[in-house]
Chain A
């Protein structure tokens, strides 16, 4: 390269000398020419010759330098780390320009790298926030509470599936739709509007609201409304959450009903006890016999009260799943025979025949013996109560191989049960109004029996009856207990023992 540069410099010098020589000889020629035209022509030619011989080499040199510069710049632009490829070998006077260009390219290269790094970071952040958004959305959609978010233009920003289901719109397509077009619930729309227009951003409103009031299945919701804060202390939207409290309401109504019925049932024996004690204190019982009668009444009513409390406790313990269950192999024939023995005096009093029917085989199931005793005692005692004199009661024990359970049936020839009472028969405190005079009872016996059979033993219970002809109560207990044992669950709550108060006089309370 250096030789080439030297060569071109020499060539330029030689040509310059040649041109100078030519110009000098041309000058002398011109002076010899006398014609002015020829002279002018000669001067023109001479000038052209001189200028071309001087300028052409300069132009060539410039062009070469430009090419060098161009290829150098092209090398710079190529994204390569090879430092050697980026050296400039052109003319010295171009060096400052080349330095500036190099610095400029470096600067922009750095800038580009920074921008790329920032863009990657933004991309990552975007992905994270997108993932977060999807998680949040998934959480909102998995909620059973209905969530509806509306913006300041009263359009839906977000609604979860529960909201769509409850309020009757497609949650996936609800976005950006005016909420008053999606809902026709004026009360709810009013609540959302009021919340949006409220000035206090931190305000949170809880309102009870019934949906489907005029339908068969109205549901009560606790509606929570809160503001979605915008940038400048303004309300950007409203978050509406609807939580179904129908079940809570139902339970609390049931509890209230239970308490009122229970207190009524408790007051009746208490009423007798208090009245008779007062009579004794006031000396109203004048002879020993009537005093004795009063004491007995007080004792019986106190027993009734105790049985009632036991039944209520047993039922509530079973419902709460905290009763102690002692499962053993229970021989149902053995239990039935015990019941027959206990109940015979009562049956004999009404001239009722009381029998057991069963095959020679074993009838054994895994159950709590005391509870099985209680169930049979209740059913037989009820049968005696509601069977007129001279009737017949039969306890049948069978093995139901198909259902892998022991089936016990207590059939009587009694009054029978009115069809409209059958469904309510196993409810707490239910008593057939017109039979109240026939026999005493609390209305808890059959409910207790149902709980023992179904809740504790995963068995089944039922009744068939024909008014005036008699009733057939049956229950079945699986040979082996299979169900999830709620009653044995490890609970820190105090467990209660099942209480059986055996009183043959009024066993079926």
Chain B
């Protein structure tokens, strides 16, 4: 596995989800940072500049989408790619997405295997290069 120096931030208010995603990525050789909500995540993003953020959509204080918008508006972290995890069936509208750097929307229940695959893809293809935006139903 490549990308041993790559840093991924995993954000979710459900500890189990953070735990399982972190373990999967750590086992694959990534450095994993974690946060419980949007505010905390934003602080970590500013301080640590991860290569990728995987965030839940529905969280207290600051939703995943708000986090993504805040990151996009900050020139220092606007180009960090984001995966949005959501348990909601509804799709997030194009307009909101256009004001973020969300690369993929993954719906819960999710597969850690599939997340690792997406992470491998985006980080080993340069990450900031092509925007292969795929929306999971």
Q: Which positions in A face B, CB cutoff 8 Å?
A: 260, 263-264, 267-268, 270-276, 278-279, 282, 284-285, 297, 301, 433-437
Contact = CB atoms under 8 A, between A and B. Distances in A.
Given A263-B89, A270-B109, A272-B20, A437 B60 contact: yes
Contact of B113 (A264, A268, A282): A282
A285 B24 CA distance: 9
Q: By CB atoms of chain A within 10 A, which of B21, B58, B87 has the most?
A: B87
Nearest to A283: B27
B17 A271 contact: yes
Nearest to A294: B20
Q: Indicate the member of A260, A267, A434 with the most B CB atoms within 10 Å.
A: A267
Given A275-B109, A433-B61, 12 more contacts: A260-B89, A264-B58, A268-B14, A268-B108, A271-B17, A273-B109, A275-B17, A276-B20, A279-B23, A282-B112, A282-B113, A437-B37
Contacts of A274: 109-111
20 contacts: A260-B88, A260-B90, A264-B89, A268-B14, A270-B109, A271-B108, A272-B20, A273-B109, A274-B109, A275-B109, A275-B112, A276-B20, A278-B113, A279-B20, A279-B24, A279-B112, A284-B23, A434-B61, A436-B13, A437-B36
A33 to B, nearest CB: 149
Contacts of B17: 271-272, 275
A284 B109 CA distance: 18
Contacts of A275: 16-17, 20-21, 109-112
A282 B110 CA distance: 15
A264 B112 contact: no
A272 B16 contact: yes
A281 to B, nearest CB: 9
Contacts of A268: 14, 87, 108
Contact of A278 (B13, B27, B58, B111): B111
Interface of B: 13-14, 16-17, 20-21, 23-24, 27, 36-37, 58, 60-61, 87-90, 108-113
Given A260-B89, A275-B111, A279-B112, A301 B60 contact: no
Contacts of B88: 260, 264
A260 B23 CA distance: 30
Nearest to A268: B87
Q: Give the 8 A-B residue pairs with the shortest CB-CB distance, closest first.
A: A271-B109, A271-B108, A272-B16, A275-B20, A274-B109, A267-B87, A436-B60, A433-B60
A268 B14 CA distance: 9
Q: Which of A273, A282, A284 has the most CB of B within 10 A?
A: A284
The majority secondary structure among interface residues of chain B is loop
B27 A267 contact: no
Nearest to A285: B23
B41 to A, nearest CB: 13
B87 A264 contact: yes
Contacts of A273: 109
B16 to A, nearest CB: 4
Contacts of B20: 272, 275-276, 279
Contacts of B27: 284
Contacts of B112: 275, 278-279, 282, 284
B8 to A, nearest CB: 16
Nearest to B26: A284
Contacts of B16: 272, 275-276, 297, 301
Contacts of A271: 17, 87, 108-110
A434 B89 contact: no
Contacts of B108: 267-268, 271
A294 to B, nearest CB: 9
A288 B88 CA distance: 34
A437 B20 CA distance: 18
Nearest to A282: B113
B111 to A, nearest CB: 6
Which one of B16, B58, B89, B108 has the greatest number of beta carbons of chain A within 10 Å? Answer: B16
Nearest to B114: A278
Nearest to A438: B60
A288 B90 CA distance: 39
A274 B113 CA distance: 11
Contacts of B21: 275
- Listed residue (A279, A282, A435) with the most chain B CB atoms within 10 angstroms of its CB: A279
A285 B112 CA distance: 13
Given A272-B14, A272-B17, A279-B20, A434 B113 contact: no
Given A271-B87, A284-B23, A297-B16, A434 B111 contact: no
Nearest to A270: B109
Contacts of A278: 111-113
